[in-house]
Amino acid sequence: MRIGQYTDSDTTRTDSESTADAAGTDPWVGVATDDGVVDLATAGAAAGVDIGPKTSDLLADWEWRRKADLAVEYAESTGVGLRDPADLDRAAPVDDPQKVVCVGLNYRDHAEEGDNEIPDEPVLFSKFPTSVVGPEDAVRWDPDYTEKVDYEAELVAVIGERARRVDPEDALDHVAGFTVGNDVSARDLQHGDGQWVRGKSLDTFAPTGPDLVTTDEVGDPHDLNIFAEVNGERLQESSTENLIFGVDELISFCSRAFTLEPGDLVFTGTPPGVGVYREPPVLLGDGDRVTIGVEGVGELTSEFETE
């Protein structure tokens, strides 16, 4: 199942408003099917199941998968709640996570690329939730504030069930599915500060999407090709089989320290080839376009704009 968030297109909106996340209508949760996009709350209400308006509401319900399946079946058989994707804009699959957890140095060859030792335990850091944007939003920054904007291709796990002190063998049961993420980083702030939260948390620096693809559809999350392309040139290419700590180990490790809640995002790290370590370095500027792809999960393209 491909779960996403949508807003109704409004052609009267000006360009600057349409890229400003807050200016649009509140996004609502839908499921992409061959017949169109199922508005889960509308189809669910008609089918007799109560589904909240957003992905975070859906995932907070322990029966979310059963309810979503019922709503989709009902929409496919009656047409109720079925929308034409041409009338819709895309928002982040989860635009209001409580936490965005990230892990550094989680691909063996990326750790070596930065001359870092292979860690014995995951090195966690965070992006503030206000950095999250969707597949149609631009990444924007003030060029006087940071001059070293970089990309990081990442597989992102979306929590579907509260996780506290779970073992690795149970951890994937707490994951709803996966999406594609770009852990956009201001390298000058990240390296200058001595810790990373500011350089990782600029507004718009966490593009995600387009869909949250459920675990049953993704299959083994540790055997997926992953890439980043900058203006069509492939600069990162690897497989999640190169993860030092797998999704199950990461979820378990996090959950021993803090509770993971439905809708929380866990960025699982990036493979080699990020811009700052290239010779010469590749740093992003106004007008650049970055596509991140993860096999079976999707492709996420973001425009980069200085403001």
Of 177 and 181, nearer to Zn ion (C-beta) is: 181
**Which position among 270, 273, 275, 302 is part of the footprint of Zn ion (CB under 5 A)?**
270
Query: Which residue minimizes CB distance to Zn ion?
Result: 183
255 binding Zn ion? (CB under 5 A): no
Task: Give the containing element (helix H, strand E) for 17.
Answer: helix 15-19
Under the binding rule (CB under 5 A), the answer on residue 152 touching Zn ion is: yes
**Which tokens sit at 104?**
């550094």
Nearest approach in angstroms of CB 236 to Zn ion is 11
Which lies closer to Zn ion via its Cβ, residue 137 or residue 183?
Answer: 183
In this structure, how many other beta carbons lie within 10 angstroms of the beta carbon of residue 144? 7
Which tokens is 194 given? Answer: 């001595």
Which of these segments, 166-174, 242-250, 265-273, 286-294, binds Zn ion (CB under 5 A)?
265-273
- 252 vs 270 by CB, closer to Zn ion: 270
Instruction: State both tokens at 5.
Output: 């968030």
Instruction: Tell me which residues in 182-241 interact with Zn ion (CB under 5 A).
Output: 183
| Number of residues in contact with Zn ion under rule CB under 5 A | 3
Q: Would you call the peptide bond into 143 cis, given omega within 30 degrees of 0 as the criterion?
A: no
**Should residue 150 be labelled a site residue for Zn ion when binding is judged by CB under 5 A?**
no
Tell me the sheet residues that pair with 126. 101
- Closest approach of Zn ion to the CB of residue 125, in Å: 8
Other CB atoms within 10 A of residue 288 CB: 17
Structure tokens at 183: 């852990």
Q: Residue 298's closest CA among 135, 122, 138, 55?
A: 135
Minimum Å distance from CB 154 to Zn ion? Answer: 6
| 127 close to 201: Cβ distance less than 8 angstroms | yes
Residues at the interface with Zn ion (CB under 5 A): 152, 183, 270
